[in-house]
Amino acid sequence: MKKSRAHFPRIKPIAYEGPGSANPLAFRHYDPDEKIDGQTMSAHLRFSIAYWHSFRGMGADPFGPGTIQRPWEKGPDPVSIAQVRMDAAFEFFAKIRAPFWCFHDRDIAPEGRSLAESNRHLDRIVAHAKDLQRATGVKLLWGTANLFSSPRYMCGAATNPDAHVFAYAAAQVKKALDVTKQLGGQNYVFWGGREGYETLLNTNLKREQDHLAAFLHMAVDYAKSIGFTGQFLIEPKPKEPTKHQYDFDVASGVAFLRTYGLEKHFKFNIETNHATLAGHTFNHEIEVAAAQGMLGSIDANSGDLLLGWDTDQFNTDVKELTLAMTSILRAGGLGRGGFNFDAKLRRPSIDPEDLFLAHIGGMDAYALAFRLARRILAEGKFEDFVAARYASYDSGFGRDIEKRRVGFRELNKLVLGKLGEPKPRSGKQEFLENLLNAYLH
Ligand code: XLS
Ligand code: NI
Ligand code: NI
């Protein structure tokens, strides 16, 4: 592979300089090489860069076109541009010290006039990605297919009323699975941005859900047939672009997967911004997935509480992330998932340097949250408090309730007899909030 020229010539690989550093282009909390419990921080956190935002998002919003111009966005034809763009992307991945990246098929290679041509474009770019992965050591966290941008998917992909569109989507995902496997992808994500409805006046909800399940079963079968062993992940989102999406949140995703016998094959990719759009906290979604043993991966971003849409900002809220990290670590971590920065620069952040500053902020916030969460769990104050709060279920009739050894009759007898009226106990929320703040400051 020929050595390409530098696209970020003025920026050196980002170094860890510690919390005291005033250098904006240095990490203060994320030390990729630091060993913690026998593993590097890089291996613990498994940060990933989202190709679509960082290398395809040019600052467009629903009210205006892009504002960001990148010097590498030129060349004789779209495939050549895609190639150079990918050189720039891998230079960035390496310099920001992210061990992983993620992509949609159409992010990395332009769509052709037919599926066959699109596939040929993809093959050329995937070959290039393979070389760049080898040269930099950056790995693929997950691949996915874009089943929402093309007009053909305006009424959904797997839930489209036209079986022809379903078939096209199946062919596209088949190829996306092939290339994800070729690139050693450790996961594969399904985000159904158009799998839902705008109005029930033209929609057969039950049939659409059946079709979505059929599609996912086909994906499971196909992955098995090609020996793809990556983890399948559902990424819930309640709305946007569609008014009502079937994978509304983790709880409805669990119900859907169980209804259709898919639960063994999928975990969840939880996105902060999607959690809040569903009226939940990030932490809530993590806990619901963890309770099912289905916590898979994280799309790391944040919404804006004053805006109702998916603003995909970099998350620097250490308190929110510490709560999330505590839940994730308590659940045993993300396994082969990771923290993917599904986040984009603000529209006026047009300098190439802003791409670094944004990711440094996100990575440092997660790294600090990781350190704090480890301390919180090691000291065990919250765990002890919660354990004590439920201690009445550890023995006696409480244990019988959990073991389902008693019923209404036995409990009725107990309450009318020796138990009588329960004694109220404080939930101590303010005490616990103060305790949490003591870790943060
Ligand atoms: C959109 C989603 C999307 C998925 C991948 O809101 O977050 O970017 O992560 O298709
Ligand atoms: Ni999103
Ligand atoms: Ni996402």
- Going 243 to 248 to 249 to 251, the CA torsion angle's sign is positive
Angle formed by the axes of helices 115-136 and 78-95, to 10°?
30
Reported confidence tier of residue 277, pLDDT bands at 50, 70, 90: very high
Among candidate residues 53, 104, 274, 284, the one labeled active-site is 104
Percent with pLDDT over 90 in the chain: 97
Nearby residues for ligand 2 (ion, Cβ within 5 Å): 271, 310
Residue to probe by mutation, ligand 1, list 48, 52, 147, 309, most atoms within 8 Å of CB: 52
Instruction: Please tell me the distance from the alpha carbon of residue 325 to that of residue 315, in angstroms, as a whole number.
Output: 13
Instruction: Please tell me the distance from the alpha carbon of residue 367 to that of residue 32, in angstroms, as a whole number.
Output: 10
Nearby residues for ligand 3 (ion, Cβ within 5 Å): 271, 299, 342
Nearest residue (CA) to ligand 1, atom 4: 191
61 an active-site residue? no
Residues with beta carbon inside 6 Å of ligand 1? Answer: 104, 144, 189, 191, 193, 235, 237, 271, 299, 310, 342
Q: What is the pLDDT of residue 204?
A: 98
Report residue 127: phi and psi, to 5°. Answer: -60, -40
Reported confidence tier of residue 2, pLDDT bands at 50, 70, 90: low
User: Tens digit of pLDDT for each residue in 111-131?
Assistant: 999 999 999 999 999 999 999
Residue to probe by mutation, ligand 1, list 102, 190, 234, 237, most atoms within 8 Å of CB: 237
Nearest residue (CA) to ligand 1, atom 10: 191
Among candidate residues 107, 178, 247, 312, the one labeled active-site is 107
Instruction: Please tell me the distance from the alpha carbon of residue 15 to that of residue 29, in angstroms, as a whole number.
Output: 11
Residue to probe by mutation, ligand 1, list 105, 142, 195, 235, most atoms within 8 Å of CB: 235
Find, among 325, 332, 360, the residue nearest to 29 by Cα: 360
Length of the chain: 441
**Ligand 1: centre distance to CA 20 (Å):** 35
Hey, what are 399's tokens?
Answer: 């244990």
Instruction: Please tell me the distance from the alpha carbon of residue 223 to that of residue 216, in angstroms, as a whole number.
Output: 10
Q: What's the chain's average pLDDT?
A: 97
Q: What is the pLDDT of residue 6?
A: 94
Instruction: Please tell me the distance from the alpha carbon of residue 187 to that of residue 203, in angstroms, as a whole number.
Output: 32
- Going 12 to 13 to 17 to 23, the CA torsion angle's sign is positive
Nearest residue (CA) to ligand 1, atom 5: 191
The CA-atom distances, in angstroms, between 419 and each of 98, 396, 397, 411 are: 58, 12, 11, 9
Give this prediction's pTM.
0.97
Q: Which residues contact 174 (CB under 8 A, 6 or more apart)?
A: 222
Q: What is the pLDDT of residue 232?
A: 98
- Going 290 to 294 to 295 to 301, the CA torsion angle's sign is negative
Find, among 341, 284, 303, 355, the residue nearest to 92 by Cα: 355
User: Tens digit of pLDDT for each residue in 32-56?
Assistant: 999 999 999 999 999 999 999 999 9
**Ligand 1: centre distance to CA 6 (Å):** 29
Average pLDDT over residues 346-375: 98
Contacts 24+ apart (CB under 8 A), 433-438: 435/381, 435/382, 436/319, 436/322, 436/323, 436/382
107 an active-site residue? yes
